[in-house]
């Protein structure tokens, strides 16, 4: 049966002895520090550059990224078109189509690698979840184009020579560039097969990641093939531009996936300070380091964590911050849902941690309305708890709805209640099994809990099923879809 708990009160002003203006401490171990009620402070101040000018993170707008990628595809098609020699013969038509699909496949590989290069401006502006889905979709298109390119080239060559397909295939594979392209296509196919949902669920994560590394080898073989192909090799300018594009993506990959993580590890010397039980199967891991403000991590973002302890060191696990960065400490809150998350409970203080990030766009910069609704499900409360503490809102303009099966499943409850009381924010716990007759996130139920729901920006984080149902309900309740901000890593 559904039950609701509401916590609303007006907080007192911060005492004069507070270490930061407008801030006071509350909650266990000081983690629930918050802004006093009525405080009109804005979002946490950015690191100051020389001249007292705030350093604002650079973000690539999703529409600008789409436009740039589409322009690149148009340029590839234009390169093909200027070299096209019109002919009605079957072999020439197939050869022309093979050239086009090959060029687009090569461009698609570049785009696919760029999207996963973890460039901060792209990650923070577009969102890691969108990038992952576009990467997955791009992989399917690349594999389709590679297959079409190979078949069209084979059929065109067979039609030109008059040989059967088998003999034509043997002849073509005798050319080193074509043999390299064939090997690259096989590698891409192996990555695609292991990435299919039905297969990925059945293989260890480490095996999947290992297979995914074949993408780089496949991309290298494809590049070698393209440099000797007629569409690129026929123009010095095309060779230089194509090589420059590949070199740029390669540098981004090496820099942001290898150099930056190593540099961060050496600079910040992050170690586990405490592992704290928060509830059934849920723990918070507090980590301390040096100069963590330089990371410029924003509430709502996540890192990829690698704990250098036996049976955990090989896995980079994505977890959101469950509290703002403070006093050179980071905190994540993790629910045991698999082998790796269960092992986190047994982390020892002093364990070295490699943290790559921050990533994600579920931050205050997405906000466009005065009123804000935070809607969390299960352990999805973690990024929203950080936003609940830091989003600048007047009393009554901030609401948090927290969906859980029972009161025992609520995570960080004491902190949430303390923050709600101090900020005069609305807090509702929506408790009950998912198969109950009453649905607390149905459109009418949400409208009853949150007056003027359609006037709110909504931040949403929860399990895929709950997030999908909540998005549908919010849209039906009148919230425009572009004002529902979520990060969902299922695709």
Residue 28: inside a domain? no
Q: Do both 222 and 289 map to the same domain? A: no
- For residues 132 and 419, give the distance between their C-alpha atoms in angstroms, rounded to a whole number: 33
Is 424 found in the same domain as 350? no
* Residues 219, 143 within the same domain: yes
**pLDDT at residue 220, as a whole number:** 85
- Final residue of a structural domain among 343, 359, 375: 359
CB contact at 8 A, 305 and 317 = yes
CB atoms within 10 A of CB 243: 14
**Are 111 and 130 members of one domain?**
yes
Q: Is residue 195 part of a domain?
A: yes
Average pLDDT over residues 372-388: 92
pLDDT for res 205: 67
Of 41-55, 390-404, 437-451, the poorest mean pLDDT is in 41-55
Range of the structural domain that residue 431 is part of: 3-12+364-486
Please check whether residues 143 and 281 belong to one and the same domain. no
Residue 370 sits in the same domain as residue 481? yes
**Taking a C-beta distance cutoff of 8 angstroms, is the pair 23, 419 a contact?**
no
| CATH number of the domain encompassing residue 368 | 3.40.50.80
Distance CA 77, CA 143 (A): 18
- pLDDT for position 290: 92
Tokens (6 digits) for 8? 């609303």
Pairing outcome for strands 3-6 and 426-431: antiparallel
pLDDT interval class at 41 (50, 70, 90): very low
Least confident of 2-11, 183-192, 237-246: 2-11
Position 56 scores a pLDDT of 62
Token output for 369: 């309305």
Q: Mean per-residue pLDDT for 467-474?
A: 91
Co-location of 83 and 179 in the same domain: yes
Same domain, 410 and 343: no
Co-location of 393 and 302 in the same domain: no
| In a domain? residue 325 | yes
Instruction: Average the pLDDT over each of 208-212, 288-292, 451-455 and give the range with the smallest value.
Output: 208-212
pLDDT at 17 over 70: no
Count of structural domains within the chain: 3
What's the pLDDT band for 233 if we cut at 50, 70, 90? low
Residue 255 has pLDDT above 50, yes or no: yes
403 and 469 assigned to the same domain: yes
Cβ pair 345, 307 in contact under 8 A? no
| Residue 75: inside a domain | yes
CA–CA dist 454, 198 (Å, integer): 38
Q: Please say which residue of 328, 359, 390 terminates a domain.
A: 359
Sign of CA dihedral 277, 339, 213, 127: negative
- Domain CATH code at residue 302: 2.40.30.10
Same domain membership, residue 449 and residue 397 = yes
Lowest mean pLDDT: which of 108-117, 196-205, 215-224, 423-432?
Answer: 196-205
- pLDDT of residue 141 exceeding 50, the answer is yes
pTM: 0.74
Within a domain: residue 20? no
Residues 442 and 379 placed together within one structural domain of the fold: yes
Q: How far apart are the C-alpha atoms of 350 and 288, rounded to whole Å?
A: 9
Q: Taking every pair of C-alpha atoms in the chain, what is the biggest distance, in angstroms? A: 91
């Amino acid at each position: 049966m559904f039950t609701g708990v509401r916590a609303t009160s007006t907080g007192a002003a911060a005492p004069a002895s507070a270490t930061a203006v407008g801030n006071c401490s509350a909650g266990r171990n000081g983690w629930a520090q918050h802004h006093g009620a009525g405080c009109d402070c804005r979002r946490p101040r950015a690191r100051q550059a020389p001249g007292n000018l705030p350093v604002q993170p650079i973000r690539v707008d999703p529409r600008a990224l789409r436009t740039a990628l589409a322009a690149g595809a148009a340029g590839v098609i234009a390169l093909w078109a200027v070299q096209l020699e019109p002919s009605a013969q079957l072999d020439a038509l197939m050869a022309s189509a093979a050239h086009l699909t090959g060029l687009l496949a090569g461009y698609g590989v570049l785009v696919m690698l760029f999207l996963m290069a973890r460039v901060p401006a792209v990650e923070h502006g577009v969102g890691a979840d969108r990038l992952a889905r576009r990467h997955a979709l791009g992989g399917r298109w690349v594999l389709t184009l590679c297959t079409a390119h190979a078949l069209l080239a084979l059929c065109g060559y067979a039609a030109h020579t008059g040989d059967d397909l088998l003999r034509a295939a043997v002849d073509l594979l005798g050319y080193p560039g074509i043999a390299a392209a064939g090997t690259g296509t096989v590698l891409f196919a192996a990555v695609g097969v292991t990435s299919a949902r039905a297969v990925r669920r059945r293989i260890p994560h480490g095996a999947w990641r290992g297979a995914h590394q074949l993408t780089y080898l496949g991309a290298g073989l494809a590049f070698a093939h393209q440099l000797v192909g007629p569409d690129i090799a026929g123009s010095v300018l095309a060779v230089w531009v194509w090589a420059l594009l590949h070199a740029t993506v390669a540098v981004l990959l090496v820099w942001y996936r290898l150099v930056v993580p190593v540099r961060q590890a050496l600079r910040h010397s992050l170690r586990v300070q405490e592992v704290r039980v928060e509830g059934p199967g849920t723990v918070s891991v507090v980590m301390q380091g040096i100069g963590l403000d330089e990371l410029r991590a924003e509430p709502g973002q996540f890192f990829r964590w690698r704990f250098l302890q036996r049976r955990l060191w090989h896995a980079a696990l994505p977890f959101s911050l469950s509290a703002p960065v403070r006093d050179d400490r980071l905190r994540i809150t993790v629910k045991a849902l698999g082998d790796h998350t269960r092992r986190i409970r047994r982390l020892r203080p002093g364990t070295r941690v490699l943290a790559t990030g921050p990533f994600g766009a579920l931050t205050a910069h997405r906000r466009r309305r005065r009123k804000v609704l935070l809607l969390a499900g299960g352990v999805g409360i973690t990024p929203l708890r950080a936003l609940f503490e830091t989003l600048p809102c007047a009393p009554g303009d901030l609401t948090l709805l927290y969906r859980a099966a029972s009161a025992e499943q609520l995570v960080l409850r004491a902190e949430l209640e303390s923050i709600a009381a101090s900020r005069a924010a609305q807090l509702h716990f929506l408790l009950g099994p998912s198969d109950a007759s009453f649905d607390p996130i149905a459109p009418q139920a949400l409208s009853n809990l949150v007056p003027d729901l359609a006037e709110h920006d909504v931040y949403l984080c929860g399990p895929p099923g709950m997030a999908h149902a909540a998005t549908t309900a919010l849209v039906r309740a009148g919230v425009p879809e572009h004002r529902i901000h979520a990060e969902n890593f299922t695709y």
